[in-house]
């Protein structure tokens, strides 16, 4: 049963610490998305990759966030330094170009 795998599922960290979230897309999918979900802002697109190349990261705060795909089986989202306002659920999703995306279960991040 193919699925997108995100780790960790939950993360509590102190303000100022680095946070790394990982995503294993479904094998063969060539597009990867990172979304952040909060009550106030809903689902915000942070980054979009196709064939491992970043195509859109305009929604990501560049000073503290970075997203990479070191290989086709791993996507990472890093926050350094983390702030309380970064507390949210972070979703990774993968798919083929121009079709539906399948979501991971999300990482619930709490920055205290």
Q: List contacts with another protein (CB under 8 A).
A: 33, 35, 42-43, 45, 48, 50, 55-56, 89, 91, 93, 97-103, 105-106, 108
Cβ closer to another protein: 82 or 107? 107
Nearer to another protein, 14 or 56 (CB): 56
Residues 62, 86: Cα–Cα separation, whole Å: 13
Check: CB of residue 13 under 8 Å from CB of residue 79: no
Q: Least distance in Å: CB of 43 to another protein?
A: 4
Smallest separation (angstroms) from another protein to the CB of 30: 11
Please tell me the distance from the alpha carbon of residue 28 to that of residue 25, in angstroms, as a whole number. 8
Residues 6+ apart with CB under 8 A from 49: 31, 32, 33, 55, 67, 69, 75
Would you say 61 or 80 has its CB closer to another protein?
Answer: 61
């Amino acid at each position: 049963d193919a699925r997108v795998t995100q780790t960790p599922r939950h993360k509590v960290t102190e303000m100022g610490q680095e946070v790394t979230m990982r995503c294993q897309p479904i094998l063969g999918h060539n597009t990867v998305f990172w979304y952040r979900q909060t009550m106030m802002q809903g689902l915000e697109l942070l980054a979009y990759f196709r064939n491992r190349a970043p195509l859109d990261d305009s929604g990501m705060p560049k000073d503290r966030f970075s997203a990479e795909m070191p290989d086709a089986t791993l996507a990472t989202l890093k926050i350094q330094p983390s702030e309380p306002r970064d507390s949210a659920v972070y979703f990774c999703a993968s798919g083929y170009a121009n079709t539906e995306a399948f979501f991971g279960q999300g990482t619930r991040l709490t920055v205290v």
